């Protein structure tokens, strides 16, 4: 109750201004102008947008309509090319699953970002299993918003920040507008998408459907995916509007598995697993209300829900062992989640105040055991071997999260803003289920089986505090800084798993820490930059330690609170339109150069384990560098990009090699991409891309589970051609 009282007191102080200011004259909010009108396609969020405060935070916005790149495959290298410090995993060539991480955090399914679509959660379970099996299709996205530094104050328990996919809406000037795209590419890749939208009286509507399929670069890598999205915005009057949105996605993917280091060196295209399959079904709904109560006071409330499932079937035995035709591991999840987030934003004479509330209820049903010994996608628990039917677990993971948060922009002077914030969190997580403990003899025969019931409950409440500051020495230049506490709860995989390559410490604890940023940025005109340094501290970071089972004589990854880790880094983004610098801002021709560079030093400190002390944190390339040029001339547009990612390790001991390839070095690699588009007229366009232009052989990931285990090779050079029609 004491912590709750602190939050209420803070909020009360902020909103006292409301009563004092009701008769005062309204002053327009002073915000830094966006550069979205330029062809760059990259800008940052304003200090205040909608019912959110972004002042003092490091933010990035990717404007998709200005991106010259491969949208059909959601190519992450091209889409996120100007976001500094991102480590990108490439799981498949179709872009079905997004995997990015920033500042030395694990990229796996964007699990270290709070991932949203139109402001609401889209991950499997935002609290207990924040992995995103659904990625919004780039062809239907208007812009991508990324917030780092003090993002925990508004978006809760995470260290990486927030990423929000703002989807397209219907045309405001047409009753019916149609956009259809057809893309063909290497290895029988086919992508078709169509959108229909417009405005009729008070109703704005938008619908989108996408189908994609292909065989993949490697054998046993075919996929089939369907995604649909619908939105309806009804404007009841000038102040009040209601929005309904629904997203559907399903895909079936044949996974070729991983490789050992020797196999990758001999032939990275080969596959030694032919019986691995992955299936996802996603249903996401939301309803929101926006009410401009007055010129100063705005209310937004959004309800959202998820009904989804994920099935993974295949062999998780060490990749250096041949497939013996045995029963396959089968993991199934069913997610049933819902939540509400309500925000109230008030603009007063010398500031802006935000008060928010969030409630989230998650319910996950998880089964792990064995499926058939066949080769098809039969996602049923029907093992052939009698002993495999014993090794089975079934759990229910309910969780509840209530949060109250508040931020305030104090405009101390026309140049100086101070932005304090606070968030109260109450979290309850449970695990109710059972598993079977089986004892085998030396010949592998079961001699004893015991069904064990497992019930766990963990409730905790805490406060996250933070502060930001901005100072504008010149009208076009801003200094910014922030500090905030961070917290991340352990997820369901950290409670119980049957993965033979991974074991979990029974005493695993939630992660705690803090983050800070200091930077300088310019985002107006034809020369822009954002250069900053950051500090990210984990008091008890969860990670993987390469361990040895002395009884069974095998290695495995132990997931545990490794030690305190400290991430220090430099992030820089610089961009200039050199043609406009020479010819002036009136010319329609554009030749834009950009450079994105980051240096990260992330190490484990204060560890009791000498094998870890001073070691580099896993999944942290020391250097990430991207540079490129984009040209626009009359009806033509083109882009070239070079990407370099430094070497990184996959476990806390910094092992450089293991026989099973689960842990080891990920060598540095560089990749080039080339894209172009030509607009025949206002209705028809032709677009093309060559990805991995120099046809290098590299990999970005070693997996201890699906889609591996082992090294996951990235695709070779690929070609794509798109025809687009707009009416």
* 37, part of any domain: no
Q: pLDDT tens-digit profile of 630-653?
A: 999 999 999 999 999 999 999 999
State how far the alpha carbon of 86 is from the alpha carbons of 79, 102, 146, 536, 686, in Å: 12, 5, 11, 15, 30
Mean pLDDT of 230-242: 98
- Position 624 scores a pLDDT of 98
Q: Which residue has the higher pLDDT, 679 or 389?
A: 679
- Position 147 scores a pLDDT of 97
Q: Which residue has the higher pLDDT, 197 or 444?
A: 197
DSSP class of residue 460? Answer: E
* Domains held by the chain: number: 1
Asked if pLDDT for residue 460 goes beyond 70, the answer is yes
Q: Are strands 203-214 and 223-235 parallel, antiparallel or unpaired?
A: antiparallel
Specify the pTM: 0.93
- Position 496 scores a pLDDT of 67
- Position 552 scores a pLDDT of 60
CATH of the domain at 262: 2.40.170.20
Give me the domain span that covers residue 372: 42-726
Q: pLDDT tens-digit profile of 72-96?
A: 999 999 999 999 999 999 988 899 9
Asked if pLDDT for residue 504 goes beyond 50, the answer is yes
* 15, part of any domain: no
CA distance 318 to 323: 10
Question: What's the full length of the chain, in residues?
Answer: 727
- Position 530 scores a pLDDT of 97
- Position 25 scores a pLDDT of 37
Mean pLDDT of 144-166: 92
DSSP class of residue 129? Answer: B
Mean pLDDT of 434-440: 82
- Position 498 scores a pLDDT of 67
DSSP result, 231-299: EEEEE-SSSEEEEEEEEEEEEEEEE---B-HHHHHH-TT--S--SEEEEEEEEEEEEEEEEE-SSSEEE
- Position 506 scores a pLDDT of 76
Q: Which residue has the higher pLDDT, 364 or 438?
A: 364
* 28, part of any domain: no
- Position 294 scores a pLDDT of 97
Paired tokens of 445: 């025969």
Asked if pLDDT for residue 3 goes beyond 60, the answer is no
- Position 550 scores a pLDDT of 63
Asked if pLDDT for residue 354 goes beyond 90, the answer is yes
Mean pLDDT of 369-373: 95
Within 48-202, strands assigned E span: 48-49, 52-53, 58-63, 86-88, 100-102, 114-117, 120-121, 141-148, 162-167, 177-185, 189-200
Considering 155-169, 179-193, 441-455, the range whose residues carry the highest mean pLDDT is 179-193
DSSP class of residue 415? Answer: S
Q: Which residue has the higher pLDDT, 457 or 188?
A: 188
Q: Are 198 and 205 in contact (CB under 8 A)?
A: yes
Asked if pLDDT for residue 438 goes beyond 90, the answer is no
Q: Are 217 and 253 in contact (CB under 8 A)?
A: no
Q: pLDDT tens-digit profile of 8-28?
A: 444 444 444 444 444 333 333
Q: pLDDT tens-digit profile of 393-425?
A: 999 999 999 999 999 999 999 999 999 999 999
Q: pLDDT tens-digit profile of 513-522?
A: 999 999 999 9
* Residue 590's pLDDT band (cuts 50, 70, 90): very high
Q: pLDDT tens-digit profile of 533-565?
A: 999 999 988 887 877 776 665 677 788 888 999
Mean pLDDT of 127-141: 96
CA distance 126 to 124: 6
* Residue 157's pLDDT band (cuts 50, 70, 90): confident
Q: Are 197 and 230 in contact (CB under 8 A)?
A: no
Q: pLDDT tens-digit profile of 31-68?
A: 343 434 445 789 999 999 999 999 999 999 999 999 99
Report the SS3 class of residue 11: helix
Instruction: Give the chain's mean pLDDT.
Output: 91
Q: Which residue has the higher pLDDT, 72 or 1?
A: 72
Q: Are 689 and 69 in contact (CB under 8 A)?
A: yes
Q: pLDDT tens-digit profile of 298-307?
A: 999 999 999 9
- Position 29 scores a pLDDT of 37
Paired tokens of 16: 């006292």
- Position 62 scores a pLDDT of 98
* 3, part of any domain: no
Q: pLDDT tens-digit profile of 246-264?
A: 999 999 999 999 999 999 9
């Amino acid at each position: 109750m004491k912590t709750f009282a602190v939050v209420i007191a803070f909020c009360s102080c902020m909103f006292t201004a409301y009563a004092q200011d009701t008769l005062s004259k309204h002053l327009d909010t002073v915000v830094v102008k966006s550069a979205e009108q330029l062809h760059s396609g990259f800008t940052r969020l304003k200090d205040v947008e909608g019912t959110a405060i972004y002042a003092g935070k490091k933010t990035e916005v990717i404007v998709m309509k200005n991106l010259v790149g491969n949208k059909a495959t959601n190519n992450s290298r091209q889409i996120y090319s100007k976001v500094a410090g991102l480590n990108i995993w490439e799981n498949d060539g179709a872009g079905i699953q997004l995997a990015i991480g920033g500042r030395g955090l694990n990229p796996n399914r964007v699990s270290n970002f709070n991932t949203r679509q139109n402001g609401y959660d889209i991950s499997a379970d935002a609290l207990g299993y924040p992995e995103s099996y659904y990625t919004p299709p780039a062809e239907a996205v208007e812009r991508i918003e990324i917030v780092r530094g003090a993002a925990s104050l508004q978006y809760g328990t995470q260290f990486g920040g927030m990423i929000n996919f703002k989807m397209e809406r219907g045309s405001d000037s047409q009753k019916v507008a149609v956009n259809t795209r057809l893309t063909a590419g290497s290895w029988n890749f086919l992508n078709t998408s169509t959108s229909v939208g417009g405005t009729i009286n008070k109703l704005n509507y938008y619908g989108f459907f996408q189908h994609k399929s292909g065989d993949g670069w490697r054998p046993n890598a075919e996929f089939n995916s369907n995604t649909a999205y619908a939105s309806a915005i009804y404007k009841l009057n000038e102040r009040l509007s209601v929005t309904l949105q629904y997203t559907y996605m399903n895909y079936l993917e044949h996974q070729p598995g991983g490789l050992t280091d020797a196999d990758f060196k001999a032939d990275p295209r080969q596959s030694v697993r032919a019986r691995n399959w992955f299936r996802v079904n996603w249903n996401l709904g939301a309803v929101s209300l926006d009410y401009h109560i007055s010129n100063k006071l705005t209310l937004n409330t959004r309800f959202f829900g998820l009904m989804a499932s994920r099935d993974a079937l295949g062999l998780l035995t060490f990749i250096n062992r041949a497939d013996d035709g045995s029963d396959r591991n089968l993991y199934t999840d069913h997610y049933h989640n819902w939540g509400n987030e309500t925000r109230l934003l008030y603009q007063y004479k010398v500031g802006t105040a935000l008060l928010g509330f969030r409630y989230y209820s998650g319910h996950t049903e998880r089964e792990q055991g064995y499926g058939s010994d066949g080769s098809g996608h039969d996602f049923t628990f029907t093992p052939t071997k009698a002993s495999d039917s014993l090794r089975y677990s079934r759990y229910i993971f309910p969780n509840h999260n209530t949060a109250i948060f508040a931020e305030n922009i104090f405009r101390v002077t026309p140049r100086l803003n101070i932005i304090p914030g606070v968030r109260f969190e109450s979290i309850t997580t449970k695990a109710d289920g059972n598993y079977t403990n089986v004892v085998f003899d030396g010949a592998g025969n079961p001699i004893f089986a015991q069904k064990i019931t497992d019930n766990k409950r963990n409730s905790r409440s805490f406060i996250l505090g933070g502060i930001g500051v901005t100072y504008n020495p010149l009208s076009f230049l801003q200094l910014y800084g922030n500090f905030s506490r961070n917290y991340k709860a352990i997820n369901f995989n950290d409670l119980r798993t049957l993965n033979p390559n991974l074991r979990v410490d029974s005493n695993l604890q939630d992660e705690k820490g803090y983050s800070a940023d200091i930077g300088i940025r310019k985002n107006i005109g034809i020369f822009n930059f954002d250069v900053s340094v950051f500090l990210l501290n984990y008091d008890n970071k969860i990670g993987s330690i390469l361990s040895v089972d002395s009884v069974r004589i095998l290695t495995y990854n132990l997931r545990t609170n490794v030690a305190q880790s400290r991430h220090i880094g430099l992030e820089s983004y610089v961009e200039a339109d050199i043609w406009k610098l020479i010819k002036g801002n009136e010319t329609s021709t554009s030749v834009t150069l950009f450079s994105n560079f980051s240096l990260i030093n992330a190490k484990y400190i204060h560890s009791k384990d000498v094998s870890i002390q001073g070691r580099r944190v896993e999944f942290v390339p020391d250097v990430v560098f991207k540079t490129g040029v984009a040209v626009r001339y009359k009806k033509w547009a083109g882009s070239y990009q070079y990407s370099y990612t430094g070497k990184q390790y996959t476990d806390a001991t910094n092992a450089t090699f293991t026989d099973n390839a689960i842990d080891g070095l990920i060598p540095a690699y560089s990749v080039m991409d080339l894209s172009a588009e030509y607009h025949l007229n206002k209705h028809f366009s032709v677009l093309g891309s060559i990805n991995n232009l120099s046809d290098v052989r590299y990999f970005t990931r070693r997996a201890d589970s699906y889609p591996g285990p082992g090294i996951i090779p990235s695709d070779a050079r690929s070609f794509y051609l798109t025809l687009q029609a707009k009416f």
